[in-house]
Amino acid sequence: MRQNAIAIVGAAASRTNGPEVDTAPIATPSSTKSSALVAGATVEEVRATRTEYHPVVLRDEQVSDRARRLANAIEPVVGQVYFSPECHEEYVALGFSPSPAAVEGVALPDGPAYFTSRGSLLGRVPGELVASAFAVFNPEIVVPCVQQGWALTDAATICEARTRGAVAQLVRILGEKPDGIDRANELLAKAVAPLRPEGKPLYAGVLAQGLPGDPIGDFWRQGDQLREYRGDAHTAAWTVAGFDATEIGLLTELFWGLPMRSYIRSRAWSDPQLDAAEARLEARGLLDGGDFTDEGRAVRGEVELNTDRQMRPAIEALGDDFDELVGIIEPWSAAVRDAGGYIKSTVQLTGAR
């Protein structure tokens, strides 16, 4: 079974389960030491033991603004992997079909190649696990696509092809060492250093790959860590809010200012599945006549705020260097779009503020 034209528009939105809360203390050397410190310490001394990635403590609204700006800055330059002609050529060489269509001159990915290449971050896992990690796609499409992919290649081979193709497109557009690349890598390293893998399967998969070892490759890989971390965080936010993939997809279209049942078509859900999801959202008082109720708008907005809050370690690690990093990346992302490496009309992925 082949899904020929799934329009992957590089959404930073939506994947796996949220973190579980475990309130039972576990006695480790570090936790025992921390407890001892707290028992006889002043407030100032306790504050001094906080982890190193908190040079300043930002208000939630500051974290949110910066987290969204960073997500939108890195999306084209990192998410271009899904549209890269060099990636498509790599996958064709492995036996996958070529890009089935183009939007605004940007080549869309072959379905099995997309699910298998990105899924390879997790290893040679079954399609059910890929569907769980990606979270927003219909498993009825994902599972056979991944089965087909593993009949053609293995995880290490297609993961390496994915990296080569992504880096090759960036080199073609930006050059091997664009101005600011060393500083961008230095700052990205600061941003990803405090990120933890629990409850973040795709981020952990990217982390496990290590760095390619060249300036553009390292930049893309660290950017992919941030991208997948936010995606995993987003899935945690919407699952804990009680939504399933069809429901969050419909709400997200409205959050982005898109017509309902437009973007979600790229996730391969059927009309009956979407009808049922819309009915559930109306019953909860979140939708009325195909649009948000006041409660629905607030609930969907809170999902994004909860996603932003999970980016606090990266945002605070950057500190006063935040504007410098984004200032380096934004022109590169514009160049990628101008060169046809990423769809130009994509909305701001984290919604209007």
Helix (H), strand (E), coil (C) string for 53-96: CCCCCCCHHHHHHHHHHHHHHHHHHHHHHHCCHHHHHHHHHCCC
Does 11 reside within a domain?
no
What is the distance of C-alpha 237 from the center of its chain?
13
In a domain, residue 209? The reply is yes
In a domain, 38, yes or no: no
Confidence band (pLDDT; 50, 70, 90) for 56?
Answer: low
DSSP code per residue over 8-31: --------SPPPPP--S----HHH
In this predicted model, what pLDDT tens digit does every residue of 95-115 receive, in sequence order?
999 999 999 999 999 999 999
* pLDDT tens digits for range 300-315: 999 999 999 999 999 9
Look at residue 106 and tell me if it is in a domain.
Answer: yes
Mean pLDDT of 183-200: 98
38 vs 243, which has greater pLDDT?
Answer: 243
Q: Is the pLDDT of residue 5 over 60?
A: no
163 within some domain: yes
Residue 32 has pLDDT above 90, yes or no: no
52 domain-assigned: no
| pLDDT value of position 4 | 42
- What are 255-296's pLDDT values in tens digits? 999 999 999 999 999 999 999 999 999 999 999 999 999 999
Q: Give the structural domain span for 223.
A: 60-239+305-338
- Residue 16: pLDDT over 90: no
Number of domains in the chain: 1
Q: What is the pLDDT of residues 314-326, one digit of tens each?
A: 999 999 999 999 9
Residue 230 has pLDDT above 80, yes or no: yes
Residue 262 in any domain: the answer is no
* Whole-number pLDDT of residue 183: 98
State the pLDDT at residue 351.
Answer: 53
Q: Is residue 21 part of a domain?
A: no
Q: By mean pLDDT, which of 44-53, 54-63, 204-213, 222-231 is the weakest?
A: 44-53
Name residues whose C-beta falls within 8 Å of residue 270's C-beta, 6 or more positions apart in sequence: 138
Res 148 pLDDT > 60: yes
Question: What does each C-alpha distance from 160 to 75, 129, 293, 336 come to in angstroms?
Answer: 21, 21, 46, 22
pTM: 0.85
CA–CA gap between residue 262 and residue 184 (Å, rounded): 35
